[in-house]
Structure 1
Amino acid sequence: MPPLKGQLLKWIGNKQKFAEEIISYLPTTYGTYFEPFLGSGAVLARLAPRHAVASDVFGPLIEIWRQLHDDTEAVIGWYADRHATISRMGKVEAYEKVKASYNAGPNGADLLFLSRLCYGGVVRFRKADGYMSTPCGPHNPMSPASFAERARIWAARTRFAEFVHADFESAIDRAQDGDVCYLDPPYADSQTIIYGAQSFSLPRLFDVVARAKDRGVRVALSLDGSKKSGDRKIALPIPNGLFEREVYVQVGRSMLRRFQMDGQTLESEHVSDRLLLTY
């Protein structure tokens, strides 16, 4: 199994830097690993399970993961084709052209390129019509050769996963006794401009987790912890008795706040996440 290298997708809330710590709290033996808020797939790829169901309600995102699994070279071609336009028209112009294409008809190929070039991985949409509005970031885009190497590594590490376009409830309801679920949903304190946050219901998630726990499924759930470097604790309606343990994972400075505050260093904006465990 090749070692994990870098992010495949730049994505707000990406857990790649903290995936090893999160995995240290997961059971060491389990049947099938479920990750129903797949996003960047960081925990899935770091864990590289032998049996997995990875899902997301966002269709263009799952299109990327399915294609990576089924035809990795096609995904490499998606990126290379769009990257080639940079030399012809410039980075920002190429980005805006692909963004216009995506907004005219959302698709995984355009989303892949946009996620690599957008500001801070903040994939945001207008609530009214789903229009992606994130500007191009200041960083230099990854070369097609480097992306190709990375895509092949990620494909190898996620090759045993089934990628499903599904709502979290239908995905979690598939899990049975002995399985494990890692959940990384939209955070309650997030701005509604962020992908997936507009219609997410935390109480509904807690109901689904309770049913899974009753079936013998072990669930780990990442949620808001503290902000302002620990000075502000996020209050959440966590049901009594649902979780057996609560630990905190230090995740560094808030990329969303950096985006909102135009790249300031944000020394007072360190964030920690709750990790809630049903076992």
Structure 2
Amino acid sequence: MFRLGIQAKPFIKWAGGKQSLANQLIPFFPTDYDRYFEPFVGGGSLFFTLCPEIAVINDHNRWLIDTYRAVRDNWQQVAEILDKLPNTKEDYLRIRSQNPYELSFEARAAHFIYLNKTCFRGLFRVNRKGQFNVPYGAYDRRYYDPENLESVSSSLAHTTILAGDFELALAGVSNRDFVYLDPPYYKLGGHSDFNRYTENQFRETEHFRLASLCRDLDSRGVRWAVSNSNTEFVRHLYQGFHFHEVSARREINLKSQNRNILELLITNYD
């Protein structure tokens, strides 16, 4: 079920990441399942905390998923390239302007990690053309921890890594599996509404489709948990299931007084 001895941590920062919430969320998760599915993996906080023996992770952000695959398959080469990338505004803008799909697999991953660690507030944001457009952050910190990157590679060794729609990522899921879903949250207002992770935004129609999928999974006996905003819209979508309020802090919000919020963890099991 779970692998012992691997202490990997997320190697990138991700808006809406669950690193600070992992210890609140995991006690709600079942422990008796065969495979762990996470169709919106993002920074992977829950995945790395759980370190499941067999897992399927997915994200619609292809560059992110390519980075996971490169770190899994050749983390040493990714690290070597990272070591050669200077942290200056001029170099940042030069690297940001490059098309990642004109680079080698490992260089593409290294550039993703570099930009994530040196851009403003570690925010991954793209324009409607899918081009990364976050300004330089001027942070004086290392891009990665070699020991952690090796642990990340080990934790991903037996993981199926997919890139695409969340619904397709759950093909083949059974009632012996567990699914954790962490989609871009339904809007609250202000900076907390950020959802420009890919050229396609996650809108109300996608939330309806996700809720419909959850009801289908429930009818098939598949256990799932969904994180989302504490709004009447979300409560209506998942009416009839179990709601758990979770205290969270969102550092991406520019107004400090609005960073402490209550989120929902919705489950289809007690």
TM-score range, shorter chain: 0.7 to 0.9
Contact 1:118 1:135 survives alignment (8 Å): yes
Contact 2:14 2:42 survives alignment (8 Å): yes
Report deviation, 1:77.
Answer: 2.4
Q: Among residues 28, 44, 59, which one is paired with 2:47 in the alignment? A: 44
Match of 2:239 in 1: 240
After alignment, is 9-18 or 29-38 more displaced?
9-18
Instruction: Please give the residue correspondences for 1:106-145 in structure 2 after superposition, counting only pairs within 5 Å.
Output: 107-127=108-128, 129-142=129-142
Q: Does the residue aligned with 2:83 lie in a helix, a strand or coil?
A: helix
Tell me the matched-pair count: 253
The RMSD of aligned alpha carbons is: 2.2
2:29 is aligned with 1:29 = no
Match of 1:100 in 2: 97
2:193 is aligned with 1:195 = no
Match of 1:276 in 2: 266
Match of 1:256 in 2: 252
Give the letter for the 1:16 counterpart: Q
After alignment, is 8-17 or 73-82 more displaced?
73-82
Report deviation, 1:40.
Answer: 0.5
Instruction: Provide Cα deviations, 1:16-38, integer angstroms capped at 9, x if missing partner.
Output: 12112211111011011000101
| Runs (5+) with no aligned partner, structure 1 | 226-232, 259-263
Match of 1:159 in 2: 157
Contact 1:72 1:155 survives alignment (8 Å): yes
Q: Among residues 201, 210, 215, which one is paired with 1:205 in the alignment? A: 210
Q: Provide the rounded CA distance (Å) in 1 between the counterparts of 2:135 and 2:246.
A: 30
Give the letter for the 1:100 counterpart: S
Give the letter for the 1:249 counterpart: V
Q: Provide the rounded CA distance (Å) in 2 between the counterparts of 1:81 and 1:272.
A: 42
Contact 2:184 2:202 survives alignment (8 Å): no
Scaled by the length of structure 1, the TM-score of the pair is 0.83
Contact 1:173 1:208 survives alignment (8 Å): no
Report deviation, 1:9.
Answer: 0.5
Match of 2:7 in 1: 3
| Runs (5+) with no aligned partner, structure 2 | none
Q: Provide the rounded CA distance (Å) in 2 between the counterparts of 1:204 and 1:150.
A: 36
Scaled by the length of structure 2, the TM-score of the pair is 0.85
Contact 2:60 2:163 survives alignment (8 Å): yes
Match of 1:54 in 2: 57
Match of 1:230 in 2: none
Give the letter for the 2:17 counterpart: N
